[in-house]
Amino acid sequence: MTETGASALAFLDAELSELRARGIFRYPRVLDSPQQAVAVVDGRKVINLSSNNYLGLANHPYLKETAEKAVRDWGVGSGAVRPIIGTLRMHEELERRIAAFKKTEAALVFQSGFTANAGTVAAILGKEDVIVSDELNHASIIDGCRLSRAEIRIFPHRDVEALRRLLEEARPKARRILVVTDGVFSMDGDIAPLPEIVRVAREFGAITMVDDAHASGVLGKNGRGSVDHFGLHGQLDIQVGTLSKAIGVLGGYVAGSRSLIDYLIARARPFLFSTSHPPAVTAACLAAFDLLEREPERIQRLWDNTRYFKDGLKRIGFDTGASETPITPVIVGDEGKAMRLSDELFDLGVFAQGIVYPTVPRGKARVRTIVTAEHTRDDLDRALEAFEQAGRRIGVVS
Ligand SMILES: *Cc1c(COP(=O)(O)O)cnc(C)c1O
């Protein structure tokens, strides 16, 4: 409290009341069960269409056993940042594993996909440089761009011609240029036109970076990601991925040349200044990569479910945008309506999160769905029925 008695933070309450009045402030719903296809959320059993647990690995017995063993053998904490004494033998092993998976010379693990993106962009670019970024890139890329103090130029979503024009403008003045894109866009489920982006970036000598948070474990052979999907091995400079989504655990990584990784070891601030993963996390990630190689049928099931559910939503008449992946948005437009649709679905036993500004642009509010390999046909049929009923009631479909 200030001396006048008014709180210096009173403006927070003013903003919060506005959000509440518009029906878009929510406390997160709370899981009362493991993260899985049918979960208990706020005490209620629901079909879960909101997790990134694409392959059902978050609660997989093999990962759990591996994590338990790691706790017994290695303890619960790593006790230091990586460069001091926080690099465990298994951290190195996981990095070799990821590099082999991504077919790159080397890889480096970060605490999260967020810190991998932000730490890498900020380490590599500086104020004499220009970053050219897709307008729908993830917040962690945007934060990395800001931290780097480079000039940021945004191109309209997936528009390679606009990208070319920005590169033409940037080339004469920039020391270095970075072209950065998500591989799969997290709120729309569409795929970046990587071959065209790489071709244009090369013409201008730009560095290329793809964030495959939603593509790793999903696209390409054994889930190797968008670079494998397009047959572009060796043609992108920086590949980022997450261990928190399809891999089912927690963490992020950068894969690329030995020099890139060595440079990040020397300069990436989250690597230098934040404690490394505990043993259970790293061991479980290693187990997940075993399963990706051993059980590719999981990815097949994911795609079968994706096609089935997407077709169902389209048949009901929903606008599902340009999605080509297991992320399927049901675009509503109005923010209040999107949140109401999500609430109605919950009452009908389906959890699909409503998503509004600033996570998506204003006027593009939606309910986002993600199917996983673990959903049964019956789960998906029941979810489609709920969507049809709730969509009609709110007037999103007729
Ligand atoms: C989720 C996500 C991240 C962040 O990954 P975390 O491991 O959850 O920090 C980064 N980029 C994209 C595109 C994402 O969807």
The atom number, within ligand 1, closest to the CA of 186 reads 15
pLDDT at residue 5 tops 80: no
- Residue 397 makes CB contacts below 8 A (sequence gap 6+) with 316, 317, 318, 388, 391
The per-residue pLDDT for 242 is 98
Tell me the mean pLDDT in the region 317-333: 97
Share of the chain above pLDDT 90, in %: 94
pTM score over 0.85: yes
Per-residue 3-state assignment (H helix, E strand, C coil) for the chain? CCCCCCCCCHHHHHHHHHHHHCCCCCCCCCECCCCCCEEEECCEEEEECCCCCCCCCCCCHHHHHHHHHHHHHHCCCCCCEHHHHHCCHHHHHHHHHHHHHHCCCEEEEECCHHHHHHHHHHHHCCCCCEEEEECCCCHHHHHHHHHHCCEEEEECCCCHHHHHHHHHHHCCCCCCEEEEEECECCCCCCECCHHHHHHHHHHCCCEEEEECCCCCCCCCHHHCCHHHHCCCCCCCCEEEEECCCCCCCCCEEEEECHHHHHHHHHHCHHHHHCECCCHHHHHHHHHHHHHHHHCCHHHHHHHHHHHHHHHHHHHHCCCCCCCCCCEEEEEEECHHHHHHHHHHHHHCCEECCEECCCCCCCCCEEEEEECCCCCCHHHHHHHHHHHHHHHHHHCCCC
pLDDT at 296: 93
| Ligand 1 centroid distance, CA of 168 (Å) | 30
- Report the pLDDT value the prediction gives residue 192, as an integer from 0 to 100: 98
pLDDT of residue 397: 94
Out of 115, 242, 249, 254, mutate this one to test ligand 1's pocket (max ligand atoms within 8 Å of CB): namely: 242
Cβ–Cβ contacts within 10 Å for residue 155, how many?
22
Site to probe by mutation for ligand 1, drawn from 133, 140, 218, 238 as the one with most ligand atoms within 8 Å of Cβ, is 140
CB 351 within 8 A of CB 50: yes
Question: What's the confidence (pLDDT) of residue 26?
Answer: 81
Over residues 254-262, mean pLDDT: 98
CB 367 within 8 A of CB 353: yes
Residue 114 CA, ligand 1 centroid: distance in Å = 6
Mean pLDDT score, 158-171: 98
Percent residues over pLDDT 70 in the chain: 99
pLDDT value at 164 more than 60: yes
Q: pLDDT tens across 62-121, in order?
A: 999 999 999 999 999 999 999 999 999 999 999 999 999 999 999 999 999 999 999 999
Q: What is the mean pLDDT of residues 365-380?
A: 98
Which residues sit with their C-beta closer than 6 Å to ligand 1? Answer: 112-114, 117, 138, 140, 182, 186, 211, 213-214, 242, 244, 252
In this prediction, residues 306-333 reach a mean pLDDT of 97
pLDDT of 1 strictly over 60: no
Ligand 1 center to 113 CA (angstroms): 5
Express each pLDDT in 198-213 by its tens digit.
999 999 999 999 999 9
Asked if residue 4 has pLDDT above 70, the reply is: no
- Return the ligand 1 atom nearest residue 182 CA: 13
Residue 22: pLDDT over 70: yes
Q: Tell me what pLDDT residue 25 has.
A: 84
Atom nearest to 137 CA in ligand 1: 13
Task: Compute the distance from residue 254 Cα to the ligand 1 centre, in Å.
Answer: 12
How far is the C-alpha of 199 from the C-alpha of 160, rounded, in Å?
A: 10
CA-closest residue to ligand 1 atom 5 = 113
**49-73 b/e with 16+ CB inside 10 Å = b?**
bbbbbbbbbbbbeebeebbeebeee
- Interval between CA 115 and ligand 1 midpoint (Å): 9
So which residues are the catalytic ones?
Answer: 186, 214, 245
Choice from 244, 355, 359 to test ligand 1 binding pocket (greatest atom count within 8 A of CB)? 244
What is the number of the ligand 1 atom nearest to the C-alpha of 243?
7
